[in-house]
Amino acid sequence: MKNCLVVDDSKVIRKVARHILETLNFNVNEAEDGREALTRCEEQMPDVVLLDWNMPVMSGMEFLRTLRQQTIERQPKVVFCTTENDTAHIRAAIEAGADEYVMKPFDRETLESKLQIVGVA
């Protein structure tokens, strides 16, 4: 069973994502901002991170840059999941090391196909 860390300041989004991911046979952990996500990663590095962009305390982009600078044996796949749905944001995310990008709102099929693309589903 693969591990997915869902990072989003919206409890509703985390709940929806958790439900979809569990039906896709993922073990799900949650964090409500980038800083908490870094702590979760220190405790247990997930296989994939589903990452919101705009969050208090630490944004998704700051989290991603910090994560990618770390020297770790195996970097997780990172899939942005955000309402920032323009090409400028998408390009910036890819340049910072994101593996995939989900534009909100999303559905089960979209999420599943993106997880397949990054090779974790």
Nearer to other proteins by C-beta: 67 or 98? 98
Number of other CB atoms surrounding residue 114 within 10 Å: 22
Of 11, 84, 76, which is closest to residue 50 (Cα–Cα)?
Answer: 76
Least distance in angstroms from the C-beta of 57 to other proteins = 26
Matching residue, tokens 């991911």: 21
Assess 109 for contact with other proteins (CB under 8 A). Answer: yes
Give the closest residue to 59 by CA, choosing from 101, 102, 7. Answer: 7
Per CB under 8 A, which region of 3-11, 22-30, 50-58, 102-110 contacts other proteins?
Answer: 102-110
Q: Please select the residue that binds other proteins; options are 91, 92, 95, 115, rule is CB under 8 A.
A: 91
CB of 104 to other proteins, least distance (A): 9
Residue type, 28: V
- Interaction of residue 103 with other proteins, rule CB under 8 A: yes
